[in-house]
A = this chain, B = another copy of it.
Amino acid sequence: MDKQKAVLELDEVVIRFSGDSGDGMQLTGTLFSDASALFGNGVSTFPDYPSEIRAPQGTIGGVSGFQVHIGNKKVNTPGDYCDVLVAMNPAALRANFKWVKAGGTIVADSDTFNEKGLQRAGFKTDDPITELKLEDYKVVYAPITSLTKESLKDTDLDNKSIVRSKNMFALGMVYFMFDRPLNFTEHYFEVKFKSKPRVIDANKKVLKDGYNYASNIQAIANTYKVPAATSIPKGKYRNVNGNTATAWGFIAASEKANLPLFCGSYPITPATEILVELAKRKDLGVKTLQAEDEIAGICTSIGAAYAGNFAVTSTSGPGLSLKSEAIGLAVMTELPLVIVDVQRGGPSTGLPTKTEQSDLMQALWGRNGECPLVVISANTPSNCFDAAFMASKIALEHMTPVILLTDGFIANGTEPWLIPSMSQYPAIKAPVVPEGTTNYMTYARNEKLARGWAFPGTKGLEHRVGGLEKDFLKGTVSHDPINHEKMVDIRAAKVAKVAEYLPEQEVFGAQEGELLVVGWGGTYGHLLTAVQEMRAEGKDVSLCHISYINPLPRNIVDVFKRFKKIVVCELNLGQLANHLRMEHQQFNYLQFNKYQGLPFTIIELKDKFNQILGGK
């Protein structure tokens, strides 16, 4: 090992914290990323936790990880591979070593690398480093558990609490390695444990002792410095994950539409936090109803929409399946409703805590009959806010259900977000029928082809809606064949017409050329980074990342035809590619697909693009 010590300046670095589910790795990673964001770095994070709450201690099944990517400019992904891995036990090492860059640094708690620990993690020898062929890596074995105990032996904390503080010792070490100030984290302790001064002191002490220990030992070869970003816009920031941003986007839409927000929902990983976030907002008058199941979730929302609230429902893939029939009812009754699907690995229960983009076809087609609706997607954690806002605006102004697709990766991932002001957002004007309107025709339409929305309780607008086919104007039940044909057409036309009110598709990079990368949803950061890097290398690659999937942007054909080749990249078997084949058959769509429950890596993307460019 290299014994020299110096402060090296880096453009970016990726750190992965990993340990048992009970080791507090999510918190440790969050604190590190918050400190880095406050320091002015570009930051992107991704938690990676098991579907068990707490699998048996020390086993691979129970390993919980949290990856942080920081940079001296905006970073768009949490990073493919990490420079530093913190492994609180052998299982964490075993589960994560393949994510460490060749020659990277591994900080391990040597106290846990005993016979029992190694065996639980499935090691066959007492030399995990050799066993995993990590001889060329920089491994820092530190007795973190015993040092933590030592550090806190004079406090009156019980033993369990003391041992639980070891993550802060590790964090202190990492802070030293990356030349980070401790004050942000110390401030966090002060707020969090306001009424328990002794706990504050203890945490500060462990953190500091970890920091000092790292500075004292010779094992840490270098410390790194990732300077604050200069290219990042100035202003007030917060870190935000996709689920919180989604919830807040709905609340923002409710404010702009001046309609109470109602969310009928049922918990499901990884969408639950949207409901959790909304439930907190009684201060803003948000009503959440945790229903008995997903069907009741959407049906209460449909009832609320009929009654004049702005209604949303949140779920993940299996829940979207259950909501299918009721979505059809919302289409037929032409009520505004946003259904957000935080996609996860499928089919069936599948891989509930892993990410995937495999619900697109279900969103487009998963209902009986010709049953069109708007489908849009979100790109990044903070973009979930805008996507939720736009989904709401479309639903309310066009009187249609909208499915918003996010995914586990952006739902749980965080990034710094330049806090917007609501004054920057457009008004939302639903076609509410005013009291006093005479001769209200339930299915008469405005220029958007939206019907008028009359609220129960309003005198003179009494009317009936339902799931049977509707008369073209009156909205009464109609079995007339020609009326049905007209209604099928107009429902399709109404959705198609939304494109006229949406922004045109933008292209990152050259506006014409060799290769157009097409993507959608949560792969944005990876696709952008890959394209950026390749463009920096002089390659003729551009990115067309589609947010509006149905209807597609009105200029999409113009965009496509300016490129020689198109490659559609998705975390599924090619669902957007198929959608494009249906909508715009004239183009040849190459595909790049991955379905491992994991995001793309920049490396595999660039390999693929280079191969396509080379193979022309």
Binding site for B on A (CB under 8 A): 50-51, 61, 316-318, 320-322, 324-325, 328-329, 331-333, 343, 345-352, 354, 356, 358-359, 361-362, 364-371, 466-469, 479, 481-482, 484-485, 488, 491-492, 572-573, 578, 581-582, 585, 588, 594-598
Chain B nearest CB: distance from A16 CB in Å? 16
A595 → chain B closest CB, angstroms: 5
A50-B345 in contact given A324-B321, A485-B595 (Cβ < 8 Å): no
Within 8 Å by CB of A581, from B51, B332, B356, B581, lies B581
Q: Assess the A485–B594 pair: CB atoms within 8 A.
A: yes
A368 near B347 with CB under 8 A, answer: yes
Pairwise interchain contact B321-A351, C-beta atoms closer than 8 A: no
Nearest CB in chain B: distance from A521 CB, A: 15
A329 vs B350: C-alpha distance in the bound complex, in angstroms?
9
Q: Are B368 and A596 in contact (CB under 8 A)?
A: no
**Pairwise interchain contact B321-A366, C-beta atoms closer than 8 A:** yes
Within the assembled complex, what's the spacing in Å between the Cα atoms of A345 and B479? 10
A27 to B198: give the CA distance in the assembly, Å: 88
Determine if A469 and B365 form an interchain contact, defined as CB atoms under 8 angstroms apart. Answer: no
Contact indicator B365/A346 (Cβ below 8 Å): no
Number of copies: 2
- Interface pair B348/A492, CB less than 8 Å apart: no
Enumerate chain B residues within 8 angstroms of A468, measured Cβ to Cβ: 51, 348-352
Instruction: Given A346-B371, A369-B356, A481-B597, verify A325-B321 contact (CB < 8 Å).
Output: yes
Q: Could you jot down 7 A-B contacts, CB within 8 Å?
A: A50-B479, A316-B368, A321-B366, A346-B369, A348-B369, A484-B596, A585-B588
Residue of B nearest to A491 (CB): B347
> Which residues of chain B come closer than 8 Å to A488, judged between CB atoms?
573, 595
Q: A328 contacts which chain B residues (CB < 8 A)?
A: 318, 321, 346-348
A368 touches B354 (CB 8 A): no
Across the two chains, which residue of chain B brings its CB closest to A356?
Answer: B369
Q: A447 to B616: give the CA distance in the assembly, Å.
A: 38
How many Å lie between the Cα of A333 and that of B362 in the bound state?
20
Residues of B within 8 A of A479 (CB): 50-51, 61, 351, 354, 597
The interface residues of chain B lying within 8 Å CB-to-CB of A61 are 479
A332-B354 contact in complex given A318-B368, A479-B50, C-beta closer than 8 Å = no
New contact pairs (14) apart from A321-B366, A479-B597, CB-CB < 8 Å: A322-B322, A332-B347, A345-B469, A345-B484, A346-B371, A349-B466, A349-B467, A356-B369, A366-B366, A482-B596, A484-B595, A484-B596, A488-B573, A585-B588
Closest 3 A-B residue pairs measured CB to CB? A346-B369, A317-B368, A347-B369
Instruction: Choose among B50, B350, B371 the residue that contacts A332 (Cβ–Cβ < 8 A).
Output: B350
Q: Which single residue of chain B is at the shortest CB-CB distance from A61?
A: B479
A321 with B582, Cβ < 8 A, contacts A354-B479, A481-B598, A484-B597 known: no
